[in-house]
Chain A
Amino acid sequence: MIDYLKGLFSKDMWSRMINIAQKEVKACLRNGWVIAIFSIFVLLSVFVSYFGAAVGNGDWGGYEQTIVYLVAYMEYMGAVLGIVLGFGAVVQEREDGSLELLMSYPLDRGEVIGGKFLGLWAVLSLCVAGGLAVGGVVIAFTVEHMIWSEYYLFILSSVLMGGVFLSLSLLCSTYFTSNNSSMAGSVFFFFLFNILWLFLMYFVAELSFGWDALTTDKPTPTWYFALQLINPVVVWYSLLATNLTALRDYMAIELGGTRAAEHPEFYQTWGLLALLVIWIAVPLLLAEYIINKKAL
C-alpha cells in the first residue's frame, strides 16, 4: 500500500500517464464521432440556453427556468458523453491488439487506465465546459442577473459528474471482453442512476416511512438523505440544489415550498464535491484491479 501511494507521486509515472492521455486526446480529436457529439452538445447547450432564457423574456424568471433546463439537460448529456467516450476505451484496444503492444512496454497496467481516464476526461471537460460556457454567454446576453460564481460551480460539478460515468464505463470496458457487453454495462449504470434509482428510493420510502413524507411536512429520516448519496447523480443534483440560487428558488416555487426542496445539513458543498471525486476514483481503482488480474 505504501509503495502504491509512493508510486502516485512518481514523476515518471505521471509523465507516462500524461503521454497516454495526450494520445487519447489526439485520437479523440481525429474521431468523427467525437467531433459530431461535441458539436451537437454545444448546439444543444446554446439552444437550451437561448430558448430557456427567452421563455421569461429576459427577466429573472427566465434565468431560473434556463438553469433548470440546463441542469435537466446535463443530467442526461453529461452521463451520455462519459459513456460514449469510455465504453470502448480498453475493450476496443484489446480487440484491435494495440493494448497488448502497449502492455509490452515498461509501464504498469494501472498507468494505462489512469492515462486513458485523464485523456478522455480532458476531452469530456472540453465538451462540457465548452458547451456550458457558450450557453453561459448566451444566457448572459439575454438576462440581467447572471450569477457567474454559481454557474462556474455548475460547470465544475457537471465535469465531475460526466467523469463519474466515464470512470464507470472505463470499468465496464476493462471488465467485459466485447464492445457490445461494455456498452450494455455502461448503459445499465445510466439507467440505474438516472431512472431506476428514483423508483427504488420511492420503494424504500414507502416500505419504511411512507413516500408521501417526501412531499408533505411529515419528517423524512436523515438516513434516507444519506442513502440518496449512493447515487452520484443525486450527489450532483443535491450539490446544485444547495448552491444554485436559481435552481433552489425554482424548486421552492414549483414544489410549493415543500420538503423536496430542502436538504439536510450534512449536504455540504465540499462534502458533495468530494463524494463525486470518490465516485470517480473507486471505479478507476476497481478497473486497475481487474486489468491487473486479467489476461490480455
Chain B
Amino acid sequence: MNAVEVKNLKKTFGPIVALGGVDMEVKEGEIYGFLGPNGAGKTTTLRVIMGLLEGDEGEVKVFGEDLTRSSRSKIGYLPEKVSLYGRMTVEENIRFFCRIKGLAEKECIRVITEFKLERFKGQLVKNLSRGQLQRLGLAQASIGKPRLLVLDEPTSGLDPNVRKWVKEKIKDLKKKGVTILLSSHVLEEAQEVCDRVGIISDGGMLVEDKVDSLVNDLELEDRLILDAYPKKKALELLKETEEARRSRILHGKLITYGKGSDKIGIIKMLIDEGIDVRDLNVHEPDLEEVFVKLTEGAR
C-alpha cells in the first residue's frame, strides 16, 4: 500500500498557480525526498497532504484513506519553521501534544528519552538553541509512533552536527518502519538519505524515481575538474570539441563534462596541444546535476 498518494492536485492562490496537477506516490516504509527550487510548490503540497490547506482539485490519500481525524493520528508533522509554545517548557510541550493525541504519560517519557531531551526538559522553549528546537520539533512529530512522518526542510539552517544527528535519526526512524516524506533543497543530503525522490518545479512534478535510476536514465556525463595551464587556451580548445562544448571556468578551476572514453580523449587532446594538466578530479553525476538538468529544462 502507498503511504501517500496524490493525484492531479491543483491549487491556486488568486491568479497564481501554486500546483498545476501534482502526482505523487510515497511507498510505505521508504524515505521519499520531495525536491524542488524555492517556490516550486513543495510546502503547498505538504500542507495539502496534512489537511492544513484544501486543494482546488485532485485527490490525496494517506494509507489508502481520505484525510480524517483517524488518518491524521497516523501522521507526524514537522513544519519548516518549528513553532512550539515558547512560554512552556520542553516537557510541558511534549506532554501537551501527547494529551492532544490522547496518549498517556508513558509516551511523554518515551519521547523525552528517545530524543535525548532530558538535559533541557525543564527549559522554556523560547530559550532553546536552533538545534535543540529542531530536536524537540522532531520529537513532537514522533509522538504516538506515527506511521508517516512529514518533514518540511528538516535540516534547513542547522549546524553540521545537528544536521548529522537529524539525518541519523531519520534513518533510524525508517529502520523502525516509519515512512518518511521530507522536502529539501539540500540535494546532497537528499541523495544520502532518500530511497526515492520526486522533483517538482513550477507547481508540476517533473520526475519521480530512485536517485540511481534518475542519473542513469538521464544519461548524465561525469564532471571533470581540471587544474590546467594556460586556462584560457585550454578552455578555447575544449569549447571547439563536440564532447566538451559545455566547459567553463569556475572558482579558478576548469570544469568540463564527458562520458566514458570521451574523458580520456579530452585529456589526451589537451596534453597533445601543449596544455599543462597538473591535477584532475572526476565526479560521477549526482542528484544535483539531475536537479539542474530537469529544472533548467522546465524553465
Residues of A within 8 A of B (CB): 12, 15-16, 19-20, 22-23, 26-27, 30-31, 96-98, 100-108, 295-296
Q: Is the C-beta of B96 less than 8 angstroms from some C-beta in chain A?
A: yes
B53 and chain A: residue at smallest CB distance: A295
- Complex CA–CA separation, A138 to B81 (angstroms): 50
Contact partner, A104, options B52, B81, B92, Cβ 8 Å = B52
- Complex CA–CA separation, A103 to B79 (angstroms): 11
> Which residues on the A side are within 8 Å of B79 (C-beta)?
97, 100-101, 104
Q: Is the C-beta of B100 less than 8 angstroms from some C-beta in chain A?
A: yes
Contact partner, A97, options B50, B54, B83, Cβ 8 Å = B83
B50 and chain A: residue at smallest CB distance: A104
Q: In the complex the two chains form, is A96's CB within 8 Å of B83's CB?
A: yes
Q: In the complex the two chains form, is A98's CB within 8 Å of B53's CB?
A: no
> Which residues on the A side are within 8 Å of B124 (C-beta)?
30
Q: Is the C-beta of B88 less than 8 angstroms from some C-beta in chain A?
A: yes
> Which residues on the A side are within 8 Å of B232 (C-beta)?
none
Q: In the complex the two chains form, is B70's CB within 8 Å of A106's CB?
A: yes
Scan B87-130; emit 1 where CB is below 8 A from any A CB, else 0: 11000100011011110000000000000000000001000000
> Which residues on the A side are within 8 Å of B100 (C-beta)?
16, 19-20, 102, 105-107
Q: List 20 A-B contacts (CB under 8 A).
A: A12-B102, A15-B102, A16-B99, A16-B102, A20-B100, A23-B85, A23-B88, A26-B87, A27-B88, A30-B88, A97-B81, A98-B85, A100-B47, A100-B83, A101-B79, A101-B82, A101-B140, A104-B72, A106-B101, A107-B100
- Cβ of B84 to closest chain A Cβ, rounded Å: 6
Secondary structure of the A contact surface, majority rule:
helix
User: How many residues does chain B have at the interface if contact means C-beta atoms less than 8 Å apart?
Assistant: 29
Q: In the complex the two chains form, is B88's CB within 8 Å of A101's CB?
A: no
- Complex CA–CA separation, A12 to B103 (angstroms): 12
Q: Is the C-beta of B9 less than 8 angstroms from some C-beta in chain A?
A: no
Q: In the complex the two chains form, is A106's CB within 8 Å of B69's CB?
A: yes
Q: Is the C-beta of B77 less than 8 angstroms from some C-beta in chain A?
A: yes
Scoring B52, B101, B140 by chain A CB atoms within 10 A of each residue's CB, the highest score goes to B52
Contact partner, B87, options A12, A31, A97, A101, Cβ 8 Å = A31
- Complex CA–CA separation, A277 to B155 (angstroms): 48
Q: In the complex the two chains form, is A15's CB within 8 Å of B99's CB?
A: yes
The 7 closest A-B pairs by CB, nearest first: A97-B83, A104-B77, A98-B83, A106-B73, A106-B72, A30-B87, A19-B99
- Cβ of A228 to closest chain B Cβ, rounded Å: 41
> Which residues on the A side are within 8 Å of B72 (C-beta)?
104-106
- Complex CA–CA separation, A295 to B12 (angstroms): 12
> Which residues on the A side are within 8 Å of B47 (C-beta)?
100, 296
The verdict on A26 contacting B83 (CB below 8 Å), with A104-B72, A104-B77 known, is no
- Cβ of B78 to closest chain A Cβ, rounded Å: 8
> Which residues on the B side are within 8 Å of A107 (C-beta)?
69, 100
- Complex CA–CA separation, A14 to B25 (angstroms): 37
Contact partner, A100, options B52, B101, B140, Cβ 8 Å = B52
Q: In the complex the two chains form, is B52's CB within 8 Å of A103's CB?
A: yes
> Which residues on the A side are within 8 Å of B84 (C-beta)?
98, 101
Known: A104-B72, A104-B79. 8 other contacts (CB 8 A): A97-B83, A98-B83, A100-B47, A103-B52, A106-B72, A106-B73, A295-B52, A296-B47
- Cβ of A271 to closest chain B Cβ, rounded Å: 38
- Complex CA–CA separation, A232 to B54 (angstroms): 36
Which B residues, 166 to 214, have Cβ-Cβ distances below 8 Å to chain A?
A: none
Q: In the complex the two chains form, is B54's CB within 8 Å of A26's CB?
A: no
A29 and chain B: residue at smallest CB distance: B87
A295 and chain B: residue at smallest CB distance: B53
> Which residues on the A side are within 8 Å of B75 (C-beta)?
104
B69 and chain A: residue at smallest CB distance: A106
- Complex CA–CA separation, A20 to B50 (angstroms): 20
- Complex CA–CA separation, A53 to B83 (angstroms): 49
